[in-house]
């Protein structure tokens, strides 16, 4: 009963994640609403904001993986949280003195993005150092429950905070959530083993080792290509969806937040069901079928409009958020099981680089294309791309497999 929740340090890791993820979800919506409603930013300006949130993965994503393999993870997580609290805290401070500009948002978002690269790579490498490898699927699923709860509560909370107290206050809540996360991470007692450091440190060679791990394995290669295509299209959608809902569907910030919460109930369902689905049907089969379902249902987003057609947005959000959580849990658990500890940071960094590295391209393209042909046609392009992304998995060995291989990649 309780499983990993009886593990004290794992509970503290979950506590750190829970409020932090809610705060992140709040600012993701609040920053876009701040730009659109308060600063009257253009569609391109909002897409540039989304671009700067993820461009750091493209700039330093691979290097961070090599650096994290040389360090213990928990100090990296704590410093990243504190730095993000300071960066986002500068936004409400500037707003209080009526000095907030779009450039202030750009700088704060970029700095937060850089620190998020370090946090995400270290976070994915930390769980295998905290729990047994047999517990990784359960551990990742329970951590994703925190993300699911955040996805469920954050949009409506963000909409309420923006409408009731203004967007800078909503961003302040996110800054405080990072302080909460840092405080809980500091209470974890398990001491990480000292990382294995190469006799001769060579950043370029260490980065190439991580890339060979991914592209030398046919399953990891298919997953990474699916991730890259999915990220390109999904970030294109995210870059313009708030502008679309405000200016074409004519929704208020509160209604946008409420619809977001209703549609993201699926994330909680997906995180709860992942282990049952993989046990019954096999992780390999679940992975490609879920990705295909995600692409098919994504086609509902461009059909969204006022009145009864808002249901398309809710249904699409419910199903795609559930599918996304299932794919994430299965994929990350597979990576953590397959990879030796001393290469885990580089493997995670390479996968994150391929996923998030194309994200700024998707955001920027969405802004340019939407300015040229309109918001709804751009959403159709993004939705069709999401469907095509599943082809990488269907064309791989996964299509004929039931279970993912559990053998560790041989150490070099």
User: What CATH number is given to the structural domain containing 366?
Assistant: 1.20.1250.20
Q: Over 80: is that where the pLDDT of 407 sits? A: no
CA distance 269 to 263: 11
Domain range holding 303? Answer: 3-189+203-400
Question: Is 406 a domain residue?
Answer: no
CB 314 within 8 A of CB 326: no
What integer pLDDT is reported at residue 379 of this predicted model? Answer: 93
Residue 251 belongs to some domain of the structure: yes
Q: What would the mean pLDDT of 27-47 be, rounded to a whole number?
A: 80
**CA 62/CA 64 separation, integer angstroms:** 5
At residue 123, the pLDDT reads 81
Do residues 348 and 65 touch, judged by C-beta distance below 8 A? yes
Taking CA 193 as the corner, what is the angle to CA 188 and CA 199, rounded to the nearest 5 degrees? 145
Res 331: pLDDT:
82
Residue 90 lies in a domain: yes
Q: What are the start-end ranges of the E strands in 122-202?
A: none
Q: Report the number of distinct structural domains present in the chain.
A: 1
pLDDT in tens, 300-343: 999 998 888 888 998 998 899 888 888 888 887 777 777 666 67
pLDDT per position as a tens digit, 97-138: 888 888 988 999 999 989 988 888 888 778 777 777 667 777
At residue 410 the predicted structure's pLDDT band, cuts being 50, 70 and 90, is: very low
Average pLDDT over residues 143-166: 74
Phi, psi torsion values for 21, nearest 5 degrees: -65, -35
Non-local CB neighbours of 400 within 8 Å, separated by 6+ positions: none
pLDDT at 1: 45
Q: Stretch 33-46: mean pLDDT, rounded?
A: 80
pLDDT at 45 over 90: no
**What is the 8-class DSSP label of residue 166?**
-
- What span, in angstroms and rounded, lies between the C-alpha atoms of 4 and 142? 8
pLDDT, residue 411, reads 45
Half-sphere exposure of 396 (CA within 13 A, CB side): 24
Domain annotation covers residue 55: yes
Give the helix ranges, DSSP H, for 202-309.
203-215, 218-247, 253-263, 265-281, 283-298
Q: Does residue 193 have a pLDDT over 50?
A: yes
pLDDT > 90 fraction of the chain, expressed in percent and rounded = 19
- Establish if 356 belongs to a structural domain: yes
Rounded CA separation 10/188 (Å): 8
Q: Is residue 407 domain-resident?
A: no
Vertex 351: Cα angle to 299 and 207 (nearest 5): 150
Q: How confident is the model at residue 298 (pLDDT cuts 50, 70, 90)?
A: very high
78-87, 99-108, 255-264, 396-405: least confidently modelled range: 255-264
193's tokens:
């083993």
Residue 402 pLDDT level (bands cut at 50, 70, 90): confident
Give 54 or 338, the one with higher predicted confidence. 54
In a domain, 125, yes or no: yes
- Is 308 a domain residue? yes
């Amino acid at each position: 009963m309780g499983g990993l929740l009886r593990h004290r340090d794992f509970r503290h890791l979950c506590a750190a994640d829970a409020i932090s993820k809610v705060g992140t979800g709040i600012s993701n919506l609040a920053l876009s609403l701040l730009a659109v409603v308060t600063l009257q930013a253009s569609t391109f300006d909002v897409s540039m904001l989304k671009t700067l949130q993820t461009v750091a993965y493209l700039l330093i994503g691979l290097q961070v993986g090599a650096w994290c393999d040389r360090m213990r993870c928990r100090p990296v997580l704590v410093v990243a949280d504190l730095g993000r609290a300071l960066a986002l805290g500068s936004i409400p401070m500037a707003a209080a003195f009526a000095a907030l500009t779009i450039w202030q948002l750009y700088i704060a978002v970029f700095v937060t993005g850089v620190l998020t690269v370090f946090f995400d790579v270290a976070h994915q490498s930390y769980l295998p150092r905290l729990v047994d490898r047999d517990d990784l699927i359960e551990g990742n699923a329970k951590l994703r429950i925190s993300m699911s709860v955040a996805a469920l509560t954050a949009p409506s909370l963000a909409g309420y905070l923006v409408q009731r107290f203004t967007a800078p206050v909503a961003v302040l809540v996110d800054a405080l959530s990072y302080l909460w996360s840092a405080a809980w991470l500091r209470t974890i007692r398990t001491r990480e083993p000292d990382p294995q450091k190469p006799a001769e440190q060579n950043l370029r060679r260490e980065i190439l080792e991580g890339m060979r791990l991914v592209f030398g394995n046919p399953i990891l290669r298919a997953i990474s290509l699916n991730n890259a295509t999915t990220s390109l299209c999904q970030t294109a959608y995210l870059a313009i969806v708030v502008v679309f809902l405000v200016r074409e569907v004519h929704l208020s910030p509160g209604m946008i937040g409420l619809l977001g919460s209703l549609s993201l109930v699926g994330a909680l369902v997906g995180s709860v069901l992942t282990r049952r689905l993989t046990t019954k049907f096999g992780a390999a089969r679940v992975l490609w079928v879920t990705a295909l379902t995600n692409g098919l249902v994504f086609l509902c987003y461009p059909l969204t409009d006022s009145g009864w057609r808002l249901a398309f947005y809710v249904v699409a959000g419910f199903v795609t958020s559930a599918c996304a959580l299932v794919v994430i849990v299965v994929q990350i658990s597979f990576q953590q099981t397959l990879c030796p500890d001393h290469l885990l940071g580089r493997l995670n960094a390479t996968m994150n680089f391929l996923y998030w590295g194309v994200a700024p391209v998707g955001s920027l393209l969405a802004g340019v294309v939407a300015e040229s042909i309109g918001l709804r046609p751009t959403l159709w392009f993004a939705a069709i791309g999401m469907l095509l992304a599943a082809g990488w998995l269907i064309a791989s060995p996964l299509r004929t497999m039931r279970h993912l291989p559990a053998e560790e990649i041989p150490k070099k």
